[in-house]
Amino acid sequence: MTTPPLSLFEATGIELEYMIVDRETLSVRPIADELLKQVGGGYELEVELGPVAWSNELALHVIEMKTNGPVASLAGVAATFQEHVARIDGLLAPLGARLLPTAMHPWMDPKNELKLWPHENDVIYQTFDRIFDCKGHGWANLQSMHINLPFRGDVEFGQLHAAMRLILPILPALAASSPIVEGKVTGLADTRVNVYRSNSRRVPLVSGLVIPERVFTRADYEDKLLQKIYDAMAPLDPAGILRHEWANARGCIARFQRMAIEIRLLDLQECPAADIAIAQCVVGVLKQLVAEKWCSSETQRAFNEERMLPILIASTHDGDQAKIEDREYLAAFGYDKPGPVRALELWAHLISGLESSGGSLAEWRAPLDVILNEGCLARRILTATGPTPSHDQLRAVYGELAGCLERGESFRAR
């Protein structure tokens, strides 16, 4: 008997990507395969360990932890992930390695340090590398949290996709954690999203404008979005190796094989508690958008990607301090104060609304307060490093971030 697809907000799937680095120097260590072999017995793509699964990624220095299937509630998920952080670190310690959080390694040189996953399914990664040259930060050096939310049928797909499109531009304002690349302050709070936007430039349709097109049925999505990607890729991929829905690199992508939409635009934080706090906020706001608390689904669908792109770019550059001037966009979230609005003010409004409407944020309030009071993680990192940090300063600050991950604590600005 086939189990029917889950309906809107009946469950959530979370994925967290971490860097494996040298325990002393913090430089990348491409040993994810050896880590997986310790628990799986071979070079498996994925190892299921009760409520959590570990899996590979394109880069051999990255390991992914994810809920082992969708979960009905995010309560307790951060603690479970934290237990697996400790388990992984325990296995890495004899190898002289550890886990490092945040969305980009602060001094990795991808041209010389990237090693692709060399085992099962390696043809996929080799094809990506042949077409796009993965020896750049947009492929080799980016870690994120993915949120997967289910839908049942076209009506729910359209409602969820409309809401996700609307929230994408302000996600970096809450979650940016990548202000330093190749040892230098980039001037961007979310360098990961910036390089993500251009990593498929050889075939621009693969990522589009990152904010997806206005398509709200499965047939339209497959015909007007996915098919165009496949057609554009065909001359470079005649064997169709990448002819799959996961080749779509927009900020949220439909995964019809599992009847879910996956958000990809959230930088990884310093510990699971901070990631799950952000996930809870995002899911809570999406519920209110789908419920049409502030505006109709039709109003949400009317915002085209070109109109929202400047907001995404501002959030990418300035994080929590990004200025939003589009009054209709702000009104779509129930925000009606005059003048340009800082993105953090909008998020404070949304978080307050979640609490006043009966949503319980008690488990996640502490990491949220750090973000609201001290800024997104990128801002706190820059407070600690200063504008022109030395390598030793970077190693000290990112060593503290690794310590925050081990302890399950927020990184505080000093």
pLDDT at residue 358, rounded to an integer: 66
CB 66 within 8 A of CB 53: yes
Q: Tens digits of per-residue pLDDT, 54-69?
A: 999 999 999 999 999 9
Percentage of the chain lying above the pLDDT 90 cut = 90
Domain membership of residue 7 (yes or no) is no
Task: Round the average pLDDT of the chain to a whole number and report it.
Answer: 95
Most confident of the ranges 42-46, 115-119, 137-141, 260-264: 260-264
Q: How confident is the model at residue 122 (pLDDT cuts 50, 70, 90)?
A: confident
pLDDT at residue 1, rounded to an integer: 47
Domain membership of residue 1 (yes or no) is no
Domain membership of residue 152 (yes or no) is yes
Q: Tens digits of per-residue pLDDT, 123-158?
A: 999 999 999 998 999 899 999 999 999 999 999 999
Closest by CA to 381, choosing from 168, 101, 154, is 101
Residue 127 CB contacts under 8 Å (≥ 6 apart), including other chains: 237, 241, 242
Domain membership of residue 410 (yes or no) is no
Residue type, 227: Q
Residue 391, Cβ neighbours under 10 Å: how many? 11
List the single range of 81-90, 146-155, 333-342, 386-395 with lowest mean pLDDT: 333-342
- Residue 168, domain CATH: 3.30.590.20
Q: Which two tokens stand for residue 274?
A: 């901070």
Positive or negative, the CA dihedral 145, 74, 282, 343 is negative
Q: Tens digits of per-residue pLDDT, 358-411?
A: 666 778 889 999 999 999 999 999 999 999 999 999 999 999 999 999 999 999
Average pLDDT over residues 247-257: 96
- Asked whether the predicted pLDDT for residue 2 surpasses 60, the reply is no
* Structural domain containing residue 205: 13-403
Closest by CA to 162, choosing from 204, 221, 118, 202, is 221
Residue type, 266: L
Beta bridge partners of 64: 17, 55
Domain count, the chain: 1
Residue type, 253: I
Domain membership of residue 354 (yes or no) is yes
Residue 8, Cβ neighbours under 10 Å: how many? 19
Domain membership of residue 121 (yes or no) is yes
Q: Tens digits of per-residue pLDDT, 285-305?
A: 999 999 999 999 999 999 999
Domain membership of residue 8 (yes or no) is no
Q: Which two tokens stand for residue 153?
A: 């049928």
Domain membership of residue 270 (yes or no) is yes
CB 249 within 8 A of CB 207: yes
pLDDT at residue 121, rounded to an integer: 83
Q: Which two tokens stand for residue 316?
A: 């990418």
